């Protein structure tokens, strides 16, 4: 019997029942949980810049965030990228807080 002589059930190719749904649920949970972690860490980076002035948002934080962006493989590196992005947003937050306070 030749391998190419057997019949193929075309309907079976488009049947994604339970495997498809459970895969999407797990994938979406992972994506949105990592997004939430990144938003929290970016907010912490902005807080560090605005309140403590420990890291100044400048060329070094931009270069660090670009380096981490190209090295993204794990959640910790993604969190480092989000933190440095938040630190980079610090000067913009300073300007917006000055315009709100009227100083």
**Residue 68 near residue 77, CB atoms below 8 Å:** yes
Q: How far apart are CA 27 and CA 37, in angstroms?
A: 16
Q: 17-21, 45-49, 61-65, 80-84: which has the minimum mean pLDDT? A: 17-21
Give the residue among 39, 25, 29 at the shortest CA–CA distance from 78. Answer: 39
As for how many domains the chain has, the answer is 1
Prediction pTM value: 0.64
Q: Which residue has the tokens 């495997």?
A: 19
Residue 13, domain extent: 3-101
The stretch 46-58 carries a mean pLDDT of 76
Q: How far apart are CA 87 and CA 75, in angstroms?
A: 18
Q: How far apart are CA 76 and CA 82, in angstroms?
A: 10
Give the residue among 90, 88, 79, 73 at the shortest CA–CA distance from 41. Answer: 79
pLDDT tens for each residue of 64-86: 888 887 887 788 888 888 888 88
């Amino acid at each position: 019997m030749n391998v190419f002589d057997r019949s193929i059930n075309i309907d079976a190719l488009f049947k994604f029942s339970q495997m498809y749904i459970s895969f999407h649920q797990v994938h979406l949970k992972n994506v949105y949980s990592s997004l939430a972690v990144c938003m929290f860490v970016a907010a912490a980076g902005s807080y560090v810049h605005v309140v403590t002035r420990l890291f100044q948002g400048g060329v070094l934080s931009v270069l660090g965030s670009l380096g981490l962006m190209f090295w993204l493989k794990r959640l910790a590196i993604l969190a480092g990228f989000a933190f440095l992005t938040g630190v980079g947003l610090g000067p913009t937050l300073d300007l917006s807080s000055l315009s709100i306070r009227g100083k």
